[in-house]
Amino acid sequence: LKEIHEQTQAVQDTFAGRVDFENARILLDSVQITEDELRHIERIHILACGTSWHSGLIGKFLIEHIARIPVEVDYGSEYRYRDPIVDARVLAVGISQSGETADTISAMEAARERGARLFTICNVLGSQATRISEGVIYTHAGPEIGVASTKAFTTQLVALYLLALYLRQVKTGAVERHYLDALAHLPLAIDEVIRLQEKPMAEMAKKHHRAENFLYLGRGINYPIALEGALKLKEISYIHAEGYPAGEMKHGPIALIDEDLPVVAIATGNDLLFEKVKSNLQEVNARDGVVIALTDRDEEELGGICDEVITVPTVSPLLQPIINVIPLQLLAYFTGLRRGADVDQPRNLAKSVTVE
């Protein structure tokens, strides 16, 4: 819980000193790849495991939207076994909280052997990932003791946002001010969502901690948040949970829905995405599932189909995932407590997976 609360400061520390708000510039002094070399990059491969892989999936949306460079996201453990197509025009970005994750390091080395330039997003100064990379963005999250990652995840998303803006700046010469204004407002929104949702998530855990399964749904940039919400619940409470793209629900998971299945759907974003997720919620409601919506809209817009609503503040759509994940972290934490689990040191898990 302490580390969930530290996210406001950790996020601010991650962009502090790297954004010149006055002149609208991104300042990354730990990048040894020249701007000219970066302009020749045609593709990006993001390599990560676990929660860091989820941040990489969001990074794909951020980089493709802001910098317009194609991105592939791979599990570190799978990458080198599929003979990836890599050359000098590929930037391989390894994401690892510890910088020592064996599968991620191996994948980065496999990319380098094939000619890729190496970059890393990491929380630990001087770790192996940083030593083999030509560019580093440190997430200033501070030590993360809890095995289930919280503040490392949200700071990784900020680092990926900075990387996307930096690549845009290199390509076009400028970063539009609205991207930076959105970042400046983020810490306040994080503080607000923690204050707003801590007690409601404790109450929700009280109601649903005996559930045997959970389903999390999200669309677009929030689909990885559905994956991350499900992973947190699995790790901390030992409840089987699955994250799914909301549009894929009718291609299988809909068969699981009954009165014992809580379905958490992330309904933020533009009108089109909101209406699509609302339609998914109506399908859950029609099959007597327990409907839980996470939204930044007025509750009335959901049309009374929800059993429970988690309200979050609105920020830029590209940064909204950072806000949306926090109530899901709190829900997992309080559910784990209710079930008597060790929320800081869950069974069978290690903080840093240094073996394959």
Q: Specify whether the CB–CB gap between 277 and 246 falls below 8 A.
A: yes
Provide the sign of the torsion angle of the four alpha carbons 72, 76, 81, 83, taken in this order: positive
Count Cβ atoms below 10 Å from residue 196 Cβ, excluding itself.
16
Count Cβ atoms below 10 Å from residue 106 Cβ, excluding itself.
18
Q: State residue 76's pLDDT score.
A: 93
How far, in Å, are 132, 185, 245, 259, 327 from residue 264 at the CA level?
Answer: 40, 26, 12, 14, 11
Q: What is the enclosing helix (H) or strand (E) of 94?
A: strand 90-96
The pTM score is: 0.93
State phi, psi for 268 to the nearest 5 degrees. -120, 170
Distance of alpha carbon 344 from the chain centroid? 20
Report the b/e string of 228-259 with b at 16+ CB within 10 A: bbbbbbbbbbbbebbbbbbeebeeebbeebee
Q: CATH second-level architecture of 192-338?
A: 3-Layer(aba) Sandwich (3.40)
What CATH number is given for 2-175 in this structure?
Answer: 3.40.50.10490
Q: State residue 186's pLDDT score.
A: 96
pLDDT tens sequence for the chain (356 residues): 688 889 999 999 999 989 999 999 999 888 888 899 999 999 999 999 999 999 999 999 999 999 999 999 999 999 988 889 999 999 999 999 888 999 999 999 999 999 999 999 999 888 999 999 999 999 988 767 677 778 999 999 999 999 999 999 999 988 999 999 999 999 999 999 999 999 999 999 999 999 999 999 999 999 999 999 999 999 999 999 999 998 888 888 787 888 888 999 999 988 888 888 888 888 888 888 899 999 998 888 888 888 999 999 999 999 999 999 999 999 999 999 999 888 877 777 765 566 56
Q: State residue 150's pLDDT score.
A: 86
Secondary structure class of 44 (helix, strand, coil): strand
Q: Specify whether the CB–CB gap between 191 and 218 falls below 8 A.
A: no
Task: Give the residue range(s) of CATH 3.40.50.10490 domains in the chain.
Answer: 2-175, 192-338
Sort 152 into a burial class: Cβ within 10 Å, 0-12 / 13-18 / 19+.
buried
Q: Specify whether the CB–CB gap between 333 and 207 falls below 8 A.
A: no
Provide the sign of the torsion angle of the four alpha carbons 120, 144, 211, 199, taken in this order: negative
Distance of alpha carbon 154 from the chain centroid? 6
Distance CA 44, CA 249 (A): 30
Instruction: Categorise residue 244: left if φ over 0, alpha if ψ from -120 to 50, beta otherwise.
Output: beta
Report the b/e string of 316-337 with b at 16+ CB within 10 A: bbbbbbbbbbbbbbbbbbbbbb
Distance CA 325, CA 51 (A): 12
